[in-house]
């Protein structure tokens, strides 16, 4: 018997309802959007995407809009969307 079946049977024996969402694998989550240009990224994130809050604060002090801090999205965008390597992709004024 597989580990999942054993776990499900154990939970059912205790009286815990098991829904398909609990059994879904992490890879079953909705795929993240892919951004090939700053125009596409800014449509969803008008201020850009920052890797760290420190980088976000730095560009705000320089007169740019406040970017969203999301290391996961920043890691997904291509390096060409952050040509100055300041850890903020597609910053805008």
* Mean pLDDT rounded to a whole number for the chain: 82
Domain contains 9: no
CB 89 within 8 A of CB 82: yes
pTM over 0.85: no
Domain contains 21: no
Q: pLDDT confidence of 71, banded at 50, 70, 90? A: very high
Domain contains 39: yes
Q: What is the pLDDT of residue 66?
A: 97
Q: Based on the structure, what is the number of domains in the chain? A: 1
Q: Is 4's pLDDT higher than 60?
A: yes
Domain region containing 56:
33-89
pLDDT over 70 percentage in the chain? 67
Domain contains 64: yes
Domain contains 24: no
Q: What is the pLDDT of residue 1?
A: 58
Domain contains 50: yes
Which alpha helices (DSSP H) does 1-93 contain, by range?
Answer: 3-14, 20-23, 38-44, 53-61, 71-76
């Amino acid at each position: 018997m597989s580990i999942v079946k054993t776990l499900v049977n154990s939970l059912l024996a205790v009286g815990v309802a098991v829904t398909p969402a609990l059994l879904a694998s992490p890879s079953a989550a909705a795929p993240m959007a892919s951004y090939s240009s700053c125009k596409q990224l800014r449509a969803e994130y008008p201020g850009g995407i920052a890797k760290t809050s420190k980088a976000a604060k730095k560009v705000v002090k320089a007169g740019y809009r406040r970017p969203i801090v999301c290391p996961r999205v920043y890691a997904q965008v291509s390096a060409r969307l952050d040509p100055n390597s300041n850890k903020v992709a597609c910053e805008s004024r």
